[in-house]
Amino acid sequence: MKLPIVNFDEHFAEFTSEWMKQHQEEYRNFDEMEADMPRIYMTFLNTRAKWLGSVTPGSYFTQFEDPKVLVDWMHEYCRECVPLPEPLLEQITFVGKPCEKRLLELLKDEDAEEEARMTAVELLREMESTLPKMLYIQWQLNRAPKDDLKDNALESLNEMGECVVQPILQVLGQANESGQEAFLEVLSHYPFQEQTFRLALKLFRERTERRALFAGYLAKLGDDRALPDLLEAVKDPKIPYLTFIEIRNAIEELGGVCPEREYDDDPEYEALRDLDRT
């Protein structure tokens, strides 16, 4: 069946405009009206609408529980570039587990709209689903440094807990540079894995332009075997001030003592000092 694509945002804008005409005397200024917007929206959701056959916007999608219908409907909104109605997304999460497989199918469809796939990632995360775990791990293996969809999936991996650790460790050697860095972000939450420590130390040694990031991971991992490398790096006369601070913090976190140094001519140091003075 052809699913109706209704622009809820446009109807809410019309509802809000009419509301303001009827209640303008209740607001002394724009800020008061803005602060009242959540209440206006709730009123909109609970007011019967002719444009929905006298059903309220908040209950319209609750008539549907078929996962295929709901997820395909969401996808169709994205295809037609119409803003996704919040009540539709809420109904998908309410139906919950039955929708997971359909959302996963959408994620696997590389021809699907980016917005639809991004939304699927967010909905599955809201459901606390681990079903896409292996797909998300696969996505990280050969990734670009910046990829919004894969970054979104990485956020979900971070929230899935310890169940992702062993699957990641099994494929760690297959990942490209950006993939290893992405995996390290997840693995750094779980110390005492030798592979994780070796990777963090390797990236700290090799990616000198990102030493601050990897020093932070080494600090989180809590293994004082990193101290010799951290102490050696902090001696580098060209090390930027902010990187020095991160490495110093890591050294101190691991029980070491960082040597002092002067940074009077460093642009980063000067900028921060000027901020402190304002």
* In-domain check, residue 69: yes
pLDDT at 26: 85
pLDDT at 260: 86
* In-domain check, residue 8: yes
Say yes or no: 4 and 114 in one domain.
yes
Say yes or no: 14 and 123 in one domain.
yes
Say yes or no: 37 and 118 in one domain.
yes
Q: How many separate domains does the chain show?
A: 3
pLDDT at 120: 98
Say yes or no: 111 and 3 in one domain.
yes
pLDDT at 214: 97
pLDDT at 75: 97
Which of 85, 105, 127 finishes a domain? 127
pLDDT at 270: 59
Say yes or no: 104 and 144 in one domain.
no
Token pair in block for residue 234: 């902090």
Range of the domain at 155: 132-190
* In-domain check, residue 114: yes
* In-domain check, residue 74: yes
273 CB-near residues (< 8 Å, 6+ apart): none
* In-domain check, residue 77: yes
pLDDT at 263: 74
* In-domain check, residue 180: yes
Amino acid at the residue 165 = V
* In-domain check, residue 195: no
pLDDT at 238: 86
In the predicted model, what is the mean pLDDT of the chain?
93
Place of tokens 């803005």: 34
Say yes or no: 85 and 178 in one domain.
no
pLDDT at 277: 54
Which of 127, 144, 174 finishes a domain? 127
- The rounded distance, in Å, linking the Cα atoms of 261 and 244 is 9
Say yes or no: 57 and 164 in one domain.
no
Token pair in block for residue 262: 């002067």
pLDDT at 31: 86
Say yes or no: 99 and 168 in one domain.
no
pLDDT at 33: 84
Q: Is the pTM of this model over 0.85?
A: yes
How many other CB atoms are there within 10 angstroms of residue 63's CB atom?
A: 8
Say yes or no: 113 and 162 in one domain.
no
Say yes or no: 162 and 260 in one domain.
no
Say yes or no: 28 and 57 in one domain.
yes
Which residues of the chain carry a pLDDT beneath 50?
none
Query: What's the sign of the alpha-carbon dihedral 129, 134, 138, 140?
Result: positive
* In-domain check, residue 198: no
Task: Please state the three-class secondary structure of the chain as a single string.
Answer: CCCCCCCHHHHHHHHHHHHHHHHHHHCCCHHHHHHCHHHHHHHHHCCCEHHHCCECCCCHHHHCCCHHHHHHHHHHHHHCCCCCCHHHHHHHHHHCHHHHHHHHHHHHCCCCCHHHHHHHHHHHHHCCCCCCHHHHHHHHHCCCCCCHHHHHHHHHHHHCCHHHHHHHHHHHHHCCHHHHHHHHHHHCCCCCCHHHHHHHHHHHHHCHHHHHHHHHHHHHHCCHHHHHHHHHHCCCCCCCHHHHHHHHHHHHHCCCCCCCCCCCCCHHHHHHHHHHHC
Token pair in block for residue 62: 């609750």
Say yes or no: 6 and 110 in one domain.
yes
pLDDT at 64: 96
